[in-house]
């Protein structure tokens, strides 16, 4: 039996959510991490060998550029790049989507994992460290599949924790498998 006074409308949910000081700190950490990554997004104009391999593979798949794809590399990352290029996205917008957003997602998932496994305070501390981690900022300026793979790995770990360890909703187990598979085809 559903009681109408138990239903929380989206606007009311956010009003309650923002009242928690931990949630405000989390939001500030995410905003800080976003602007820090945005600052470093185009800090480097040189394309490294690995980046060139992913970009050339993407152009090979979608624009018939002659190139021998290295089958040792994950397939998902160059396919996503190729899809975005074929939709008309430029290099910066593509890097924003396949590098910066997963990097930001890593900060958020670090918080969620810390919160689920320990407490909100541990999650906030871990997310704050991850938001300023030098390797994350260094690789933000490059086309690297590391962020996307780590994002999928953390999402898989989060779903495993919720679905298997904590035995919450069963769909978390299925999401665990999905994210683990996506992580594998991104970076084996």
pLDDT at 81: 97
The pLDDT of 127-138, averaged and rounded, is: 93
pLDDT surpassing 90 at residue 155: yes
pLDDT at 1: 46
Q: What is the mean pLDDT of the chain?
A: 92
Alpha helices by DSSP H, the chain: 10-19, 21-40, 49-63, 76-86, 91-95, 101-117, 120-132, 134-140, 146-160, 171-186
With vertex at residue 187, the alpha carbon angle to CA 43 and CA 153, rounded to the nearest 5 degrees, is 90
Distance of alpha carbon 43 from alpha carbon 36, whole angstroms: 11
The better pLDDT of the pair 126, 71 is held by 126
pLDDT at 8: 60
pLDDT tens digits for 9-65?
A: 677 778 888 889 999 999 999 999 999 999 998 887 788 999 999 999 999 999 989
pLDDT at 42: 84
Query: What single-letter DSSP state applies at residue 142?
Result: S
**pLDDT band of 7, cuts 50, 70, 90:** low
**Which range among 32-46, 99-113, 118-132, 145-159 shows the weakest confidence by mean pLDDT?**
32-46
């Amino acid at each position: 039996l559903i009681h109408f006074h138990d239903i929380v409308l989206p606007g009311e949910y956010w009003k309650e959510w923002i009242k928690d000081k931990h949630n405000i700190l989390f939001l500030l950490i995410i905003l800080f991490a976003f602007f820090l990554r945005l600052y470093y997004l185009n800090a480097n104009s040189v394309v490294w060998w690995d980046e060139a391999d992913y970009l050339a593979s993407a152009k090979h798949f979608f624009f018939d550029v002659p190139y021998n794809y290295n089958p040792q590399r994950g397939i998902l990352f160059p396919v996503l790049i190729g899809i975005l290029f074929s939709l008309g996205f430029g290099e910066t917008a593509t890097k924003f989507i396949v590098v910066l957003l997963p990097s930001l997602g890593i900060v958020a998932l670090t918080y969620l994992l810390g919160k689920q496994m320990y407490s909100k305070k541990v999650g906030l501390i871990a997310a704050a460290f991850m938001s300023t981690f030098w390797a994350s900022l260094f690789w933000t300026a490059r086309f690297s599949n590391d962020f996307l793979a780590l994002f999928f790995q953390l999402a898989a770990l989060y779903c495993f924790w919720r679905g298997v360890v904590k035995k919450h909703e069963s769909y978390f187990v299925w999401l665990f498998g999905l994210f683990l598979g996506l992580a594998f085809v991104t970076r084996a």
